[in-house]
Structure 1
Amino acid sequence: MASLSSASVSLVRTPTQLPCFRSNHGKVQSLNRYSKTKTTHLSINSSLRMCSIAASDSPLSTSMYELSSKKVWIWTENSQVMTAAVERGWDTFIFSSQNQGLANEWSKIALIDPLFIKEGEIFDNAGERVATIFQVSTPSELKKLHPEAHHVGNVVIDLLDWQVIPAENIVAEFQGSKTTVFAVSKSPAEAQLFLEALEHGLGGVVLKVEDVKAVLDLKEYFNRRNEVHNRLSLTKATITQVHAVGMGDRVCVDLCSLMRPGEGLLVGSFARGLFLVHSECLESSYIASRPFRVNAGPVHAYVATPGGKTSYLSELKAGKEVMVVDQTGKMRTAIVGRVKIETRPLILVEAKIDANDQTVYSILLQTAETVALVCPHEGNRTQKTVIPVTSLKAGDEVLLRLQGGARHTGIEIKEFIVEN
């Protein structure tokens, strides 16, 4: 039977094998890569309380990307699509039964797992059935799809009418089942819809395209989601100066996700050093908590976005993605739901990594008790999670994300640059 796992793209950092291409000498070279996932528990000061949701009960504590290993099969007759897919670790391809010659030709170029469609079933090279195909265009057809009806490990569905609701129904029906359900997707957007249905998503997608860009875009989507399983390296910095500077246009970023104590956005006046600005999730006597909001700073400031990029706060708008980071460097993506720009009094905060360091890192923030910077996380000791900017003073320690300072359209580049 064809090795189906070789086509899987794990959204958890687990051992994977890099794609292999045959050399002219018939030798195959491959590399195994491994990485470890480490879990760190966030220590929260017991005096700080969430108004709307407890950290232990939060849906953010787990995600579909930590629970599932999604698979991608490719259905194409375009050799460039095949090459792009194999280079990105997707090596299971679907052919019609009449395309045995094309499968043989591609097998001479790259290590692929060819699968063949015949009379509503999918077979491997040895003729063993590995999946069943279902076309669904009516509710009655959808009701016939349930785990007990199949004796193979994979089911491929082709949703000809509605997509979102049927996909959600299938996720619910097959939860806990050992059957992997794939959905035929004709674009990366469709694939994303199926992989995120009911949060957990289907087990995989069959990307049926003739366009290389579709493969590249889907891989970029996987890369963004994989990114959240890495931990950012955050550095302890010491505040050197805090003083009021006057009025400016500051940006409140309202997300489509809730944040917990210790989480916020990475923001800074210079891309070389971004401060971890805390969300407004903490309860106070004067104002209700807003765990979806970060009062992030003025319009000119940089904010961290997926893929190691930055955006100006003024560029954010509904639908864009930003990186939410906690004290330990754990990160996840979140969608911007709304951006509010209003004129408010600002305070300048400057910090250094050590006293002898000539590099200064700075951020401007609104002068308000609800605006705070996140403190370093040190083991399980009870300590402050955040320091409001109204209480911030020289000598206090906060968290910074250090990175390259030169940017072009938000992408880090290597060039000489001086910023003050």
Structure 2
Amino acid sequence: MRTGMGLVSQQFCLAVRTHSPFLPISLLPPTPTINSTTTSTNFNSFYYSYNTHLHQNNCSISMASSLDDDIGREYKKRVWIWTQNKHVMTSAVERGWNTFIFPSHLHHLAHHWSSIAVIRPLFVDEGEIMDGENKRVATIFDVSTPEELERLRPEDVQAENVVVNLRDWQVIPAENIIAAFHNSQKTVFSISSNISEAQIFLEALEHGLDGIVLKVEDVEPVLKLKEYFDRRMEESNLLSLTKATVTRVEVAGMGDRVCVDLCSLMRPGEGLLVGSFARGLFLIHSECLESSYIASRPFRVNAGPVHAYVAVPGGKTCYLSELKSGKEVIVVDQQGKQRIAIVGRVKIETRPLILVDAKIDSNDQTFSILLQNAETVALICPPKGNTVLKTADPVTSIKVGDEVLLRVQGGARHTGIEIQEFIVEN
């Protein structure tokens, strides 16, 4: 499967906010023709990437998450839209997807849409996808039986792009296609009509197919797919973590604390962001470290009491008491690398608690957290330069003057979403 970045030739400019994965694209004045030339047939709607490259005449946008091999993989996916609904078209263009597929008899519709937005029209003709100059861009393969899947071989495909239409099973055929094409230079898409199908195709065998042909007549799948990419994009952004100094450690009595068991394994230095106040979340270590008295549980974070906030995807927070099986949380390490993990189970039990307060040098605010008073519960320490001297301090031995890591952010929240308003929390 294709791994190169490639340039996406575009005849317009984009307003880009580099601090956000959302790339707004305004509808543009009429263009004289739909048969615009391009230097490559790889004009797929945009790559998702951490970096944005703007050229004088071309806008090449890569939306890929580049993490080290142990944390994640480059996340480069393409989206083509197959629709006859104008509202779907405008929603897709506004979200950065400008390649559209039409039946061969609807050239007039493509011409009309090209007069109100800059799009790249493609046309389906007897199992082939052609561009406006009648050059083959992709070949469509309908797969409804194991025999048809077995006959799909990279060496037999002449087009640069392959679009697979899985009519029956989804997961196993998608995995087989990924395995068959992983060393080829072909770009493999699958046709999907909803976000659930798209997610299966994009995540099969961890790597997923190269892209999605979203065949819909409703706006909602477009919005949902963009939300999905936004969540995945978060994994490419390093979270800013701040060093804080512990100012108070105090036994606090009994309370209901939450153990969060994930469907993923965590490594030393990873944990969840949790805090009594949303303005400052502490990085709580997982129970992956070995102990003389209890087995390692690298899937678990003993995260704190039911009232505490925990970081979840989308820059949001929720209460620990709201977590349940199937919800997503953000796993973060000492360097600020993050990834999304699914909650498998939540356990709430009454346990003795300990209160930890901390402050940062540039801020007089106090940040607090309550945790179970146990040796297996630990706060992650800041690294010293590029060297990690130690991973975490157990709350049973932490003391005033020790350093911990915080995620400092806006404190005012409404249903977990940060808002701008006056707020005092003590």
State whether TM-score is above 0.5: yes
Which of 52, 64, 86 aligns to 1:15? It is 52
Which of 61, 65, 69 aligns to 2:70? It is 61
Aligned alpha-carbon RMSD (Å) = 2.1
> Residue 250 of structure 1 contacts residue 298 of structure 1 at CA under 8 Å; is this kept in 2?
yes
Which of 170, 190, 206 aligns to 1:163? It is 170
> Residue 6 of structure 1 contacts residue 90 of structure 1 at CA under 8 Å; is this kept in 2?
no
Match status 1:217 vs 2:224: yes
Alignment partner of 1:157: what SS? strand
The TM-score normalised by the length of structure 1 is 0.88
Query: What does residue 405 of structure 2 align with?
Result: 399
CA shift for structure 1 position 8:
3.9
Instruction: Tell me the amino acid that sits aligned with residue 374 of structure 2.
Output: A
Which of 330, 338, 342 aligns to 2:345? It is 338
Structure 1 segments of 4+ aligned residues over 6 angstroms from their partners: 28-40
Query: What does residue 121 of structure 2 align with?
Result: 114
Match status 1:281 vs 2:288: yes
Alignment of 1:246-395 (within 5 A): 246-354=253-361, 357-381=363-387, 383-395=389-401
| Cα displacement string for residues 302-348 of structure 1 (whole angstroms, at most 9, x for unaligned residues) | 00000100010000001100000000111110000000100100000
Cα distance change on mapping 1:198 and 1:288 into 2, 3 Å = same
Which of 180, 184, 187 aligns to 1:177? It is 184
Instruction: Tell me the amino acid that sits aligned with residue 15 of structure 1.
Output: T
> Residue 232 of structure 1 contacts residue 330 of structure 1 at CA under 8 Å; is this kept in 2?
yes
Instruction: Tell me the amino acid that sits aligned with residue 412 of structure 2.
Output: A
- Matched residues in 2 for 1:390 and 1:220: separation? 41
Cα distance change on mapping 1:275 and 1:165 into 2, 3 Å = same
With 270-279 and 378-387 compared, the bigger mean Cα shift is at: 378-387
> Residue 132 of structure 1 contacts residue 156 of structure 1 at CA under 8 Å; is this kept in 2?
yes
Cα distance change on mapping 1:304 and 1:382 into 2, 3 Å = closer
- Matched residues in 2 for 1:409 and 1:256: separation? 25
Alignment partner of 2:293: what SS? coil
CA shift for structure 1 position 6:
3.8
With 377-386 and 70-79 compared, the bigger mean Cα shift is at: 377-386
Alignment partner of 1:414: what SS? coil
CA shift for structure 1 position 89:
0.9
Instruction: Tell me the amino acid that sits aligned with residue 365 of structure 2.
Output: T
- Matched residues in 1 for 2:176 and 2:61: separation? 36
CA shift for structure 1 position 32:
6.7
Alignment partner of 2:172: what SS? helix
Cα distance change on mapping 1:89 and 1:406 into 2, 3 Å = same
CA shift for structure 1 position 73:
0.3
Match status 1:126 vs 2:133: yes
CA shift for structure 1 position 67:
3.0
- Matched residues in 1 for 2:267 and 2:286: separation? 8
- Matched residues in 2 for 1:39 and 1:147: separation? 29
Alignment partner of 1:360: what SS? strand
Alignment partner of 2:50: what SS? coil
Which of 416, 422, 426 aligns to 1:416? It is 422
| Cα displacement string for residues 103-153 of structure 1 (whole angstroms, at most 9, x for unaligned residues) | 000111111110000011110011111111111111111111110111111
| Cα displacement string for residues 186-218 of structure 1 (whole angstroms, at most 9, x for unaligned residues) | 001111110001110011110001111110110
Identity fraction in percent: 67
Which of 88, 96, 111 aligns to 2:103? It is 96
Q: How many residues align?
A: 389
> Residue 68 of structure 1 contacts residue 203 of structure 1 at CA under 8 Å; is this kept in 2?
no
Q: In proportion to residue count, which structure has more helix?
A: 1
> Residue 249 of structure 1 contacts residue 342 of structure 1 at CA under 8 Å; is this kept in 2?
yes
Alignment of 1:207-246 (within 5 A): 207-246=214-253
Instruction: Tell me the amino acid that sits aligned with residue 305 of structure 1.
Output: V
| Cα displacement string for residues 251-299 of structure 1 (whole angstroms, at most 9, x for unaligned residues) | 0000011111110000000000000000011111111111110000000
Q: Structure with the greater relative contact order (CA < 8 A, sep ≥ 6): 1 or 2?
A: 1
5+ residue gaps, structure 1 = 19-27, 41-59
- Matched residues in 2 for 1:254 and 1:12: separation? 30
Alignment partner of 1:225: what SS? helix
With 201-210 and 8-17 compared, the bigger mean Cα shift is at: 8-17
Alignment partner of 2:314: what SS? helix
Query: What does residue 200 of structure 2 align with?
Result: 193
> Residue 130 of structure 1 contacts residue 152 of structure 1 at CA under 8 Å; is this kept in 2?
yes
| Cα displacement string for residues 331-384 of structure 1 (whole angstroms, at most 9, x for unaligned residues) | 110000000100100000001113x84311000000000000000112243512
Instruction: Tell me the amino acid that sits aligned with residue 379 of structure 1.
Output: G
Query: What does residue 204 of structure 1 align with?
Result: 211
> Residue 11 of structure 1 contacts residue 225 of structure 1 at CA under 8 Å; is this kept in 2?
no
- Matched residues in 2 for 1:321 and 1:301: separation? 16
- Matched residues in 2 for 1:133 and 1:189: separation? 21
> Residue 8 of structure 1 contacts residue 70 of structure 1 at CA under 8 Å; is this kept in 2?
no
Alignment partner of 1:336: what SS? strand
Instruction: Tell me the amino acid that sits aligned with residue 422 of structure 2.
Output: F
Query: What does residue 17 of structure 2 align with?
Result: none
The TM-score normalised by the length of structure 2 is 0.87
> Residue 7 of structure 1 contacts residue 89 of structure 1 at CA under 8 Å; is this kept in 2?
no
